[in-house]
Chain A
């Protein structure tokens, strides 16, 4: 803005001509500015609309809305406590990170530091395709294919040999928290591995050269030269994966077993559960518009919104900081 004005002021054009030039450009700039602020306006509007939409339920149940265990939309006996679904969301997401992040890190290391050039591009394209598969197709594959793999090859041995540990108790069924966690792990791999790769590419080559020059092997170079340097950025990539896992809806809805009330508390991996997103997807169309039910579901959406906002802002901050340092170093 300032440089434009200065340029205009210092120019020797006639007054008339200068005015037209200035107004055409500033109108265009204003137009782009207004539309660019659309993103910020959308997020602010989201807060307002979600709060107004959920107000009836929040006023009625207060803090009990997030600490309650019971869920009953039947008129006259309404109870809307969403603690089991908050915990269910956290449990499935934690599981997804536990499985997905190490694999993603391995992929990122392989593709950015180890793979021969000839197979790097096709392999990274395949990993990217994993992100292109729609959530609902993951769900379809989840209920008809993955479910039986998990049940036969993971859950049955787990419950036979480790069934005395509380988190492995229950009957292997395949539609439960473990399957949801596994499918989420697959779904966050493209995000986490792509961002980690970007972070590793941003590590200056001098780091690698320094490690090689003291005689480090390739793995040692990656460990001391690259990974330790990129640590906070990789942490940011994992948090981005968490953000994705928290909000993922369709695939989880189709494999998690959809229990409600205290039964949905994630006390065992081999047990049906429910996340905030799956609860909304399951019940939204059945909610009676005249009851408190839709308002309570919008309230679940509000809580999910706050989770996602906090996680994403934190993650973007971490990733940005690392990538910005690189930009500065290059310039």
Chain B
């Protein structure tokens, strides 16, 4: 066996290398945030936030329609995805301790790691081809499919944290099982579910690939659920690929708004959950 000094040295070296790995990962994060703020902040103006994009190649115009589109998409996606996810999470937590439950849980995990572009193509074939046009509704369905496994998983986990004594107390009062779940278990686990929903919103808000083949993108404001629409990530992509400096700056500006939205959701979740665990303990 090597001498103690050598072993001690190896231990230090391993510590240094591991810490270095963390540093390597934090550098891109720092650079991304720094560049988005540095290049994006000058693009922000009232005009940028309130107007639709100008003609391609001419500076001016804004991303108001993309912001509106992202908000509409988030709302509609939640309308579809949250009830489905929460109810399937209830199944997994309250009835899912069997083979079928394990199968669903397994495919939930598989689907939540699935390439979002494949979901986009799927919805293209299923909805866009069937309805004959790119549409807001197709985009929301695609994003709901991406959201579903996340919400279902977090619902299951937060309902499992609800102590069984609470279920038993409700049952002892003669309340039926489904009523117990809906009124007692669900409201006790509400905080965790809201956290899960916020995290899944943060995830879908930045999705771009599935939107290419569903909502397509547009120069105008929302024109109906069966019409194409713009969204922030799509706008960032299109602006970045244009060969004009003003477009690149607008792209950074749109990215800044998008990142702010997503960071606020993430940090909000952090703060909210920290408070919750504190009060519980």
Contacts and interface: CB of A to CB of B under 8 A. Distances in A.
Judge: A and B partners, yes or no: yes
B14 interface: yes
Interface string B126-137: 100100000000
A129 B259 contact: no
A49 interface: yes
Interface stretch (B4-12, B41-49, B57-65, B219-227): B4-12
B17 A249 contact: no
B114 A312 contact: yes
Contacts, number: 267
Interface in B94-132: 94-96, 100-101, 103-104, 106-111, 113-119, 121-122, 124-126, 129
Given A136-B233, A140-B240, A284-B124, 4 more contacts: A102-B21, A104-B25, A280-B117, A315-B113
A39 B113 contact: no
A145 B18 CA distance: 26
Interface in A16-42: 21, 24-25, 27-29, 31-33, 35-40, 42
The 10 closest A-B pairs by CB, nearest first: A247-B115, A134-B206, A106-B21, A28-B178, A32-B91, A110-B18, A36-B91, A301-B121, A36-B88, A219-B14
8 contacts: A35-B88, A36-B88, A106-B18, A106-B20, A132-B203, A249-B115, A304-B117, A312-B114
A248 B259 contact: no
Interface in A266-322: 277, 280-281, 284-285, 297-298, 301, 304-305, 308-309, 312-313, 315-316, 320
Interface of A: 1, 4, 21, 24-25, 27-29, 31-33, 35-40, 42-43, 45-46, 49-50, 52-53, 102-107, 109-111, 114, 123, 125-130, 132-141, 143-146, 186, 189, 193, 217-220, 222, 240, 243-244, 246-250, 254, 277, 280-281, 284-285, 297-298, 301, 304-305, 308-309, 312-313, 315-316, 320
B176 interface: yes
What secondary structure prevails in chain B residues at the interface with A? helix
A211 to B, nearest CB: 12
Contact of A304 (B35, B101, B118): B118
A137 B259 contact: yes
Interface string B170-199: 000000111101100000000000000000
Interface of B: 7-8, 10-11, 13-15, 17-22, 24-26, 28-29, 31-32, 35-36, 39, 84, 87-88, 90-92, 94-96, 100-101, 103-104, 106-111, 113-119, 121-122, 124-126, 129, 145, 148-149, 152, 176-179, 181-182, 202-203, 205-209, 212-213, 216, 233, 236-237, 240-241, 248, 251-252, 255, 258-259, 262-263, 266, 270
A144 B87 contact: no
B82 to A, nearest CB: 12
Given A217-B8, A247-B118, A316 B208 contact: no
B31 A141 contact: yes
Nearest to A183: B28
Contacts of B145: 42
Given A136-B237, A222-B14, A110 B28 contact: no
Contact of B106 (A136, A138, A246, A320): A320
B25 A217 contact: no
A199 B164 CA distance: 27
Nearest to A254: B240
Given A29-B95, A136-B237, A39 B152 contact: yes
Nearest to B106: A316
A241 to B, nearest CB: 10
A92 B82 CA distance: 35
B216 A285 contact: yes
Contact of B7 (A49, A186, A220, A246): A220
A254 B248 CA distance: 13
A45 B122 contact: yes
Q: Give the residue among B8, B91, B115, B266 with the most A Cβ atoms within 10 A.
A: B115
A198 to B, nearest CB: 13
A301 B118 contact: yes
Q: Give the residue among B14, B106, B145 with the most A Cβ atoms within 10 A.
A: B14
Contacts of A297: 121
B88 A103 contact: no
A129 B30 CA distance: 10
B118 A281 contact: no
